[in-house]
Amino acid sequence: MKKNKKALAEYKHQWYIKNKKHVQKLRRKNQARSTRLAKIWRKKNINWYRKRKRIWYSKNKGKIKEQKQQWYAKNRNRIQNQRTEEYAKKMGMTMSEKRRMSASSIEMFARAFVTSLVGCRLVHHPRFIVGHPDYANKCKKVAVFIQGCFWHGCRKHYCFPKTRTDFWVRTIMNTQLRGIEVTKRLQKDGWKVKHVWEHTIKGVMNG
């Protein structure tokens, strides 16, 4: 019996190798036929299908919302990075400008604080302004830059890193010089420029 089974298996395998193309064609035909039939059935019974769909959605509405919220909470940073990268590709931005585009928690909290300082409505990361300020009002020509204590070399809170000191000194000097150039350019065009430090916003946050 065992020998017969083995011989049968071998024969089937050899037959499949010979007629492989023909079998694959038949399978494709059957799949296409089944999909066609499913489409025809859906067209005929579309009202019933939609009803069933609505009933299922009304039953599982809460679960779907929870799942969406959980998924978004897990992948929030990835989604924000993707959006910034897509926008940066359209605008042809550099890597440093991309980093500025992604909003930090301090920048988001700073909106209310900065509007109270300036006294007008501000837009977060507006387009087509020199230097890409964090908040700005194009009508009143007000630009606000939120400066990180480390990246912009704050005199109160900046600590020199122990490793690669030359590199960090160069980068922070470059950011400071770029900031000065941007403020000068904006002031020439008639903009009011304000720089708000990270430690001031953190002080307001902590109360």
The pLDDT assigned to 84 comes to 59
Taking the C-alpha atoms of residue 70 and residue 66, their distance in angstroms, rounded to an integer, is 6
The pLDDT assigned to 201 comes to 80
Q: 194 - beta bridge partners?
A: 144
pTM (2 d.p.):
0.49
The pLDDT assigned to 123 comes to 83
β-strands 135-137, 123-124: how paired? Answer: antiparallel
β-strands 135-137, 142-147: how paired? Answer: antiparallel
Nearest to 174 by CA among 107, 70, 110, 94: 94
The pLDDT assigned to 11 comes to 77
The pLDDT assigned to 90 comes to 55
Q: What is the pLDDT along the chain (207 residues), one digit of tens a residue?
A: 555 777 777 777 787 777 877 777 777 877 787 888 877 877 778 788 788 888 888 888 888 888 888 887 787 767 666 655 665 555 555 545 545 545 555 666 677 788 877 888 888 888 788 888 888 888 888 999 988 888 888 888 777 788 888 888 888 888 889 889 999 999 998 999 988 888 888 777 676
